[in-house]
Amino acid sequence: MSGIYFDNNATTRVDEAVVQAMLPYFTEQFGNPSSMHSFGNKVGLAIKKARMQVQELLGAELDSEIIFTSCGTESDSTAILSALKAQPERKEIITTNVEHPAILTLCSWLEKDGYKVHYLKVDGKGRLNLDEYRKLLSDKVAIVSAMWANNETGTFFPVIEMAEMAHEVGAMFHTDAVQAVGKVPMNLKDTQIDMLSVSGHKLHAPKGIGVLYLKRGTRFRPLLRGGHQERGRRAGTENSASIVGLGKAAEMAMETMNFENTEVARLRDKLEAGILAKVPRSFVTGDPTNRLPNTSNIAFEFIEGEAILLLLNKFGIAASSGSACTSGSLEPSHVMRAMGIPYTAAHGTVRFSLSRYSTEAEVERVIAVVPEIIAQLRKLSPYWDGDAPKAEPEKAFAPTYA
């Protein structure tokens, strides 16, 4: 499929080399790794190799700290529910109000069961206040869960420091790192992070495979019980082809880490600067000095994101938006609201997320197309007049109900 794919935080293309590594495990290497015969044995060895490749990418001390799961969401649920089960006397959770729904929806569900959940707020650039965090920490907290990098803005949280603070009160620390793994160098053996979630399809492995990193010695209660797979910590027959694919993708991510942080970052910066220079009343959301190298989230004021995406799509450009309409909900993205972005801008946020396959020509094409699209939609907007917003736009147009 041709077209410009700038939506790599949603999912990525499976690398051709990853596909090739996987293919034998659908046909000639179909055995169950638990079997005694040679059909299974070779698969077991391939999984062992993949486990070491992931260990290497995460900088984990031991390969036994890598548990393969079905996805990032499963890893998140496993981590939090395990911490609660293992420490029944601790009834509180600390997280942030900009987490992925994989965490937030689970937490609001747990609130119904009587757990107290503290949601850390962020400032206008999506940054946490560590003093506020410190005040919430106590011996009642079972687990702290904070994302390594935000999926919408790319903004990093200081998870290494936060893990150390959690341990001071004996709480466990988990991080949803699905956006960061493969883009940020990690050395988990030197941190106090207890658990970390990985999602294969964010780093050019297939969908349907994830990892829960579990630091040795962290008390653990499995979510899925049954067979002895993953040393009894995640029962269920291994998704062997995908595990092999994730291993290969992890190996490739190690090789391209530097490229992501130099070349991909340069392209992202060029895209962002090019758009901001040409489009009035647009701004970057999140913290541009401390974020993922591939992500740029731009708010276009006075227009709505779904309309922008539909027009971009017409030009063969794929991106995503924090508008309410793209999700069918009534409110714009919780991340934008948490940062206090006004509604007239939050609905018009567009996330461009690049990958190592993105090219200079693609970036130039998007810089050329976006200003036209924005101008076209603003012509339809009741807040806009000619080349500029109306004077006091919120007063010039104040619809009957709000």
Q: Name the residues that contact other proteins, by CB under 8 A.
A: 302-307, 310-311, 313-314, 323-326, 328-332, 343-344, 347, 379-383, 397-402
Comparison of 242 and 349: residue with beta carbon closer to other proteins: 349
Minimum separation from the CB atom of position 323 to other proteins (A): 6
Q: Which is nearer to other proteins, 156 or 384 (CB)?
A: 384
Cβ contacts of 260 within 8 Å, gap of 6 or more: 182, 183, 293, 294, 356
The number of helices, as runs of H, and strands, as runs of E, in the chain is: 14, 15
Cβ closest to other proteins, residue 206 vs residue 322: 322
Q: Cβ(67)–Cβ(214) under 8 Å?
A: yes
- Which of 284, 339, 286 lies closest to 123 in space, CA to CA? 339
239 vs 301: CA distance, rounded Å: 45
CB of 348 to other proteins, least distance (A): 9
What is d(CA 60, CA 178) in angstroms, rounded to the nearest whole number?
A: 16
Q: What is the 3-state secondary structure (H, E, C) of 357-402?
A: CCCHHHHHHHHHHHHHHHHHHHHHCCCEECCEECCCHHHHCCCCCC
Active site residue 325: yes
Q: State the nearest-atom distance from the C-beta of 335 to other proteins, in Å.
A: 15
Which residue of the set 325, 343, 375, 397 is catalytic? Answer: 325
Is the Cβ of residue 283 or residue 343 nearer to other proteins in the bound state? 343
Could you tell me the smallest distance in angstroms from the CB atom of residue 116 to other proteins?
19
Q: What is the DSSP string of 175-196?
A: EE-TTTBTTB---GGGS---EE
The nearer residue to other proteins, 96 or 323, going by C-beta atoms, is: 323
HSE-up (13 A, CA, CB side) for residue 185:
7
Q: Of the two residues 304 and 362, which places its CB atom closer to other proteins in the complex?
A: 304
Q: Take residue 322 and report the two structure tokens written for it.
A: 């924090």
Minimum CB distance to other proteins, residue 402 (Å): 5
Of residues 30 and 109, the one with the C-beta less far from other proteins: 109
106 vs 116: CA distance, rounded Å: 12
Largest distance between two CA atoms of the chain: 77
Closest alpha carbon to 267 in 350, 358, 180, 185: 358
Min dist CB 259 to other proteins, Å, is 31
Q: Which is nearer to other proteins, 391 or 402 (CB)?
A: 402
Q: What's the CA dihedral at 117, 118, 124, 128 to 10 degrees?
A: -120
**Tokens in use for 252?**
């490739």
DSSP-derived secondary structure for 27-68: TTT---TT-SSHHHHHHHHHHHHHHHHHHHHHT-S-GGGEEE
| Structure token pair of residue 343 | 């509604």
Minimum distance, C-beta of residue 380 to other proteins, in the bound complex (Å): 5
Q: What is the 3-state secondary structure (H, E, C) of 73-93?
A: HHHHHHHHHHHHHHCCCCCEE
Q: Which residues are catalytic?
A: 325
